[in-house]
Structures are given as C-alpha cells and as structure tokens.
Structure 1
C-alpha cells in the first residue's frame, strides 16, 4: 500500500527561486471529496492518475500511476470536474530533504505553499528561511478544496 507522509507550510517569500526552476502542473479531479480524492495530472509530457484518502495526522494513503499523456489530456478535457488547478512546482533540496513549492495560478493566484515528504511522522527537519506558518492539517490548503473554494475568494 502506498503511503504519503507530508507536512505543508505557507511560503513567506520567493527566495527559493534563486536556486531552482519550476514546471507547470495542470490537474483535474474525478472526485474532489476530501475523504477520497481521485485526480488526473499533466506535467511536461506525462500524465498521472492519483488516488488519495483523507488520512490521519500527517499520513495518507496515496496511489499514483503514470498514464499515457493523450489519455490524461482527454480525461482532463472531457471527464474531470471543473475548474482545474494550475500551478508551477519548484523542487528545493535543503539539508537532506526535498521541498516541493507550489505557486498557484488562475483563481488561486497569490497562494504559495511548500510541502516536505517524510519517511516517518516523527522525522525532524530544519526549515528554510522562507518557510512560514504550518498548514498541514488545514483542509483549506488541500488542492481538492481550492478547486471549489479558490484563494481569491478567501477573507485575508
């Protein structure tokens, strides 16, 4: 069984961009219910199907499979719930850990979050200087929530 152990944080500034470049991600949901999400994602010329549960603590079940790019395009266009989530993802290596920084576009413009995947919920790690508040358990920062409740509509 696939497991994902991750922590999620807001990002205070874009200094991470000095040392890494990003890739555009486009994703749509076949099911955006937080209890069990099913999404299709396109990155570069690859397609992916991902299934996740709500999980407990910092751990969720996650199953991800590469699918043909043309299938992913067709599913996004004709089957997925609208609107899509579009973001640029940056990969930042820091003190033995890989951080994924997502800069959202469109209706979620202005939101930037960073995630770190861990081997164990009790792993200790250092935070880069641009990391802000932890939002791991705040459902508002789940991509499946952002789809129907875009960041631009939040009370800031």
Structure 2
C-alpha cells in the first residue's frame, strides 16, 4: 500500500509551459465511487493501463493501491464508466527540487489546468512556482472523480 500525499493548485497563466516536458496523454474513468473511495482506470498514451483504488476523504493524504492491467481490459471496462471520461495531457515540471504534475484538461473540462505536488514535505508558499495559483488541496470538487461526475466547479 502506498500513501498519496499531495497538494493541488489551480494554475495561473501559461508561464509553466516553457518549463514543461512534452507530456503524456491520459484518458481516465471511474467504475466505482463512494464516500471516501474510488476505483479508477487510467490509459496512458494509448499503450498502457492502470487500475487505481483510493481510500480517504478530502484530505492531503490518502491510501492508494495501483496495479498495471492489460490495455485491452482497460479499453473494455470503459463501457462501465460512471460520469464522464476525463482526457488530459500531463506535463512534468521541476522547480526547486520538486516535480510538479500539471494537468491540462480537454473536452468537457477544457480550460481547467491543475498542478499537483506529491510530497510529504511542507513546502513553503514562497518556494512554490509563480504559476501555482489558488490552492485547492482538500477541496473534493477538484478531485478527478468529482470532475468526472460534476464537471468544472463554479469556484474555479
């Protein structure tokens, strides 16, 4: 079992782009959600797939179990998706010794850009990149499962 410890930020502007890698394409969907738990399937660059189970509420730390699964199985399970399939490009950006994952959402979530920093460290706000805007850590409306079910929150 792994612990997912992350902070999430809405991204301001496009300054992050000049530091970003080429990114990977992610298509993900949920086959089960409940209070404090999700079951997600993720297809990466159309070549690999993972099954992820997450447990825990709207907090910075959650239990996470992740397993590689056959791509064909993941593609077949998409017909059981609840909510919308999320499509996004994930870019990795190094800043002051940390790697940020910046998700540029597509389709129904187009225009939404969220950065995640997975670390147990307490990174001071002054050490965050300038493009890291409002922190939305712990705001369940910005969890991918909620985005799949409800779309972009009004507050974004």
**TM-score normalised per structure 2:** 0.89
Unmatched runs of 5 consecutive residues or more in structure 2: none
Query: Residues of 2 paired with 1:116 and 1:95: CA distance?
Result: 12
Task: Kindly report the root-mean-square deviation, in angstroms, between the aligned alpha carbons of the 2 structures.
Answer: 1.7
CA drift at 1:56: 6.5
SS at match of 2:122: coil
- TM-score, normalised to structure 1's length? 0.89
Question: 1:63-121 CA distances to partner (integer Å, 9 max, x unpaired)?
Answer: 11111111111111x22224201111111111111100011111111111100001x2x
Aligned residue number for residue 25 of structure 1: 26
State the shift of 1:33 in Å: 2.6
Q: Aligned-pair distance for 1:155?
A: 6.3
Distance in 1 (CA, whole Å) between partners of 2:155 and 2:103 is 21
SS at match of 2:75: helix
Report SS of the residue matched to 1:110. Answer: coil
Give the total of aligned pairs. Answer: 152
CA distance, structure 1, for counterparts of residue 96 and residue 73 of structure 2: 38
